[in-house]
Amino acid sequence: MNFKGISYYLHLSCYPVAILSFLNILYSSYFDHYLNLDSYLLTLVISFLFALIFYFISKDAEKNIKFYDQLFLLFFVYFFVSLLISIPYYFSYYQLTFIDSYFEAISGLTTTGFTIFTNVKVLDPTLIIWRSSSHWIGGLFFLTFLMLIFSNFKSEYKLTHLVYNPDKATNIFKDTKKIITKVFFLYFFLTSLIFILFTFSGIRLFNSFNLAMSVSSTGAFLPTNELSNLIKTSTQTIILTLGLTFSALNIYFFYSLFANLNTLKKHYEDIAILLSIIFFSLILFFSIEKITFLNILINVVSSLSNSGLSAYSPPNNFFLFFIFLTIVGGSAISNSSGIKFIRIYILFKSLVLEIFKLVSPNIVLDQSILKTEHKINNENINSSFLIFICFFMSIFLLSSFLSAGGMNFENSFKLSILTITNTVNSSLYGMDKINFSNLLTSSKFFLILFMVIGKIELLSLFLIIRKAISRN
């Protein structure tokens, strides 16, 4: 394993945390919030120290690391950067244990939104910003990994090659700076637009800033206890819906919509997702009594984007339907988790094709994927089915661990799905009463592990293990 090459990319991952620490120091000094100032200074020093250590380790190293090294880097970045993010939690005035601090940090970086804090509105403003910013950094990391690692031809199980992707990479070293810069500015512009719209809609500046960072990353950390305290008008609900919708779509869809309309017609996956949102919303609108279409729409979008934010609680018998939507997920190149829409499409269409072949063996059928030049082949089907199996294997394992920790079966099963799909435990799924601070340490440990697995997918871990075994 090329540890020196991996160290080069690890040193780059330290800078976002250092920059965030510096901004929090400036905010604390300007607004006289000195309660947690020392913890941000400590985080800044430690982040830069590790950045320098990793840089000197990687000096004169081969930076073009191999595929399995890339996967190892991917896992290690999540666990290591979360350690840095956990420092302000651990040294804060709120006396969190290390496992609770790390749990909050992992939940932020994976954009899941599980929280140890039961009363967010009493938190120091700088810590609220820190929580929301961890979502934003996690979203930036994941989009970058999608473009640099999972666009690699050896890891096509992410299926980023089947959807619109103008920056297909052959390895992590090729055009790295160019791709990272493009992803950063697209992500930053989307966040800025959501922030501006929230501000002009009447939400105070501080809340708009934090909410924009959570929405753009499909996260769920809020600057207050309830979303209903922030989203009060139809205009604000529409802005929230649009923000989550764009976050669930291909990151380049937003660019194509406003800057390059000629490529918009290539976003077949995103158009199909938008049609699915309308379809599911209409079904629920005619199925649930005394509810506005806008409330239904935000719940559908929130579930498909794997955010879980909702200002409206549906009837109990619809909880599982919204959980099903979290399993589907959004675009292959987005911050959403889940199985992903493109995989569900491939599995469903291949099933229909096989049924038609059995009925009429000589029939000629369209095997194209979402009207693109790509055709459904055995590799696509096997990859999608393998992820499908790994997904439900993860749910089974995690629900077993949580049940062993004393949680009842229904809650452990639903919480497992939300963990694997990196979706917050909101009232949208009937899971808002869970107090994570009261869980056993072992349960928190498994939730931490599977939040990362849910973001990266279990198959990545299997590939690393297989490589390690083959070496031995």
pLDDT in tens, 45-100: 999 999 999 989 888 777 777 777 888 888 999 999 999 999 999 998 888 999 99
Closest to 299 (Cα-Cα) out of 286, 291, 308, 287: 308
From the CB of residue 192, how many other CB atoms can be counted at a distance below 10 Å?
12
pLDDT at 261 over 90: no
- d(Cα 408, Cα 439) in Å, to the nearest integer? 12
Q: Which pLDDT band holds residue 312 (cuts at 50, 70, 90)?
A: confident
Listed by start position, the domains of the chain span 68-472
Token pair listed for 388: 């499908």
pTM of the entire structure?
0.93
pLDDT at 471: 61
Q: What is the pLDDT of residues 405-414, one digit of tens each?
A: 889 999 999 9
Q: Could you read off the pLDDT of 101-116 as tens digits, one per residue?
A: 999 999 999 999 999 9
Residues 6+ apart with CB under 8 A from 269: 162, 163, 164, 250, 331, 332, 341, 342, 370
Q: Is the pLDDT of residue 175 over 80?
A: no
Query: What average pLDDT does range 264-277 have in this prediction?
Result: 91
Q: Does residue 355 contact residue 445 with C-beta atoms inside 8 Å? A: no
Per-residue pLDDT band for 117 (boundaries 50, 70, 90) equals very high
Give dist(CA 339, CA 385) in Å, integer.
10
Please report which helix (H) or strand (E) contains residue 254, including its range. helix 251-258
Instruction: Please answer whether residues 60 and 10 qualify as being in contact, where contact means their C-beta atoms are separated by less than 8 angstroms.
Output: no
Closest to 451 measured CA to CA, from 418, 409, 427: 418
Contact of 187 with 179, CB cutoff 8 Å:
no
**φ, ψ for residue 185, nearest 5 deg:** -70, -35
C-alpha to C-alpha distances, 97 to 88, 90, 103, 116, 122, nearest whole angstrom = 12, 6, 10, 10, 19
Residue 26 CB neighbours (<10 A):
11
- Beta-bridged to residue 368, according to DSSP, are 375
> Closest by alpha carbon to 243, among 194, 297, 178, 281?
194
Q: What is the DSSP letter of 375?
A: B
Q: Please, which residues have CB within 8 angstroms of residue 84's CB and are 6 or more apart in sequence?
A: 14, 17, 43, 46, 47, 50
DSSP string covering 257-283, please? Answer: HHT-GGGGGG-HHHHHHHHHHHHHHHH
Which tokens hold the place of 73?
Answer: 């880097």
* Interatomic CA distance for residues 148 and 171, integer angstroms: 7
